[in-house]
Amino acid sequence: MNGLSIALIQTNTTVGALAANADKMVQLAHKAAQNGADILVFPELVLSGYPPEDLILKQHFTEDCRKQLHRMAKELPADRLVILGSPSGAHAKTYNAAVVFHGGQIAATYHKMLLPNYGVFDEKRVFLAGHRAMVLQYGAVRIGLHVCEDSWFPDEAACALLKPAGLNVLINISASPYHRGKLGVRENVMRQTALAVGAPLLYCNLTGGQDELVFDGASMALNAAGQVIVRAKQFADDILHVSLPMHLAATPSPTELPMVDLCAIEPKASASTAFPVRIEEPLEDLAEVYEALKTGLRDYVGKNGFGRTVAALSGGIDSALVAAIAVDALGAQRVVGVTMPSQFSSQATRGDAMKLANNLNIEFHTLPIQELFAAYRQQLADIWAGMPADSAEENLQARIRGNLIMALSNKFGWMVLTTGNKSELATGYCTLYGDMAGGFAVIKDVPKTLVFELARWRNRQPGGAVIPPSTIERPPTAELRDNQKDSDSLPPYEILDPILERYVEHDQGAADIIAEGFDPETVRKVVRLVDLNEYKRRQGAPGIKITPKAFGRDRRMPITNLYR
């Protein structure tokens, strides 16, 4: 064999949909084989979906995974080498594995050695770690196997054991979630690993959304010098064909490779097709974030079986951006807008809500809340007698709106999209059972300053502006009392967001943030708000992770917490 033709098949599967996931892989494998690929590679845990979380602790789940693997062995192209990710093993002894198929059977199974247990990852909770590396002797070609984290630490055993193996190529199957800037980080890490093992590295990643996580694909191949030679699309299913000429290195015998399982597989066929080089250009920053939000919303709605969604449109920028993302992700026919004005709602915001709905061509309803608000206050009048108006009356309006939109959800089966951003959730500038009520928080991890950037970016796209310019230009306001502005309660967002980034995402203390030049009183106020509002965030809807540290998945703080 003078060369290898390899297909990196990045695909979007659903956690728990074992039979459907298996069927999809079989179909894609035959398609890639017909196009001339010798080796067919799928992502990490593609059979179970990622992350399977505590499903792995259910013995019947891992047994059903095993049954699907044995079914696939008979249905995958027998004359090709197929590598895919799946749970492997039995209850309490389950591994995150790369399963190798050839000749109508399972030819080898590699167990992931490095289990991530930080941020969004919790693999040590459900998987055992492997302790042996694996090399496939595919005819005259030596192929090393890695599963995701194995390639992230070139000095650890997963890489070190493969360095003397005389590899012709290292294949990494991954489920690497997206966050802003992750692609550059990922490419740099893979470059270091390719250099460390002295061989080309092929990286196959998942696509699609799973609860809070989005997988961005962008599978790639790097040569032994660490240069990207091909790259797949972002946020889309794709088959990336790689042609690798093989310059065979001296290959040690198995006895010279302690702690390495060497599996010999004789090729049944060698198409050795030469494929054109394809390097997909990465999306620019704002386009990438927007696509991640679209993907996360589309798959959360679709995979959970919802037909339509509904969002409360206040005339403000947050709800406008959420509605635009929803229409772009799902289509206008699957998005409903509802405005619920009170006596504090201005004509400008009412008009902007209607303009937005018209621009997006979505179904739109108006449900005024003045009479309901008056009825609630009348009911509470005796208990509240003599007490001045405060945040209780403000929150009451938000909770009336929450009740109304949840009633629509209950009656019609629409999923409610909440519209709170990361800056509001961080500081508690939101109402439990009010504007926080709903099924999915689209911009939960999007700071307010980024909300403005994304809205302006969306308006520059082909087709013209959909978000009314006045919505973007108007000072942010909750409109729960006369002449209210967000800046009455919070620092300006251009000051607030950098403080939040340092405290939430970088884990800096107040003293360190103040030392960077921020006003001490402002910093202490922001830190206090973040600490006090953990109980609210704990009760909020799930939302799409787009920053390195999102609330919930990444940042897990105790509610009862007196550390200051």
Q: Which residues are catalytic?
A: 44, 112, 148
Per residue, what are the HEC states of 492-546?
CHHHHHHHHHHHHHCCCCHHHHHHCCCCHHHHHHHHHHHHHCHHHHHCCCCECCC
Distances (CA, A) of 252 to 135, 317, 460: 11, 63, 58
Contact between 373 and 396 under an 8 Å Cβ cutoff? The reply is yes
- Two structure tokens written together for 32: 């890639």
Handedness of CA 31, 33, 35, 40 (dihedral sign): positive
Amino acid in position 486: D
Pairwise CA distance, residues 240 & 7, whole Å: 6
For the beta carbon of residue 381, count every other beta carbon within 10 angstroms. 9
H-run or E-run covering 417: strand 415-418
Residue 558, burial from CB neighbour count under 10 angstroms (0-12, 13-18, 19+): exposed
* Tokens describing residue 90: 């039995």
Distance CA 73, CA 558 (A): 46
Q: Is residue 173 a contact partner of residue 147, using CB atoms and an 8 Å limit?
A: yes
Q: How far is the C-alpha of 245 from the C-alpha of 230, rounded, in Å?
A: 14
Of residues 216, 127, 154, the one with CA closest to residue 180:
216
DSSP 338-370: EE---TT--HHHHHHHHHHHHHHT-EEEE---H
Residue pair 265/138 in contact by the 8 Å Cβ criterion: yes
- Residue 274 Cα distances to 32, 42, 137, 244, angstroms: 13, 20, 22, 9
Long-range contacts of 374-381 (CB under 8 A, 24+ apart): 376/400
Provide CB contacts within 8 A for 141, sequence distance 6+. 1, 4, 168, 169, 246, 248
Bridge partners of residue 335, in order along the sequence: 309
Contact 375, 348 (CB under 8 A): no
Q: What is the DSSP string of 174-207?
A: E--B--TTHHHHHHHHHHHHHHHHTS-EEEEE-E
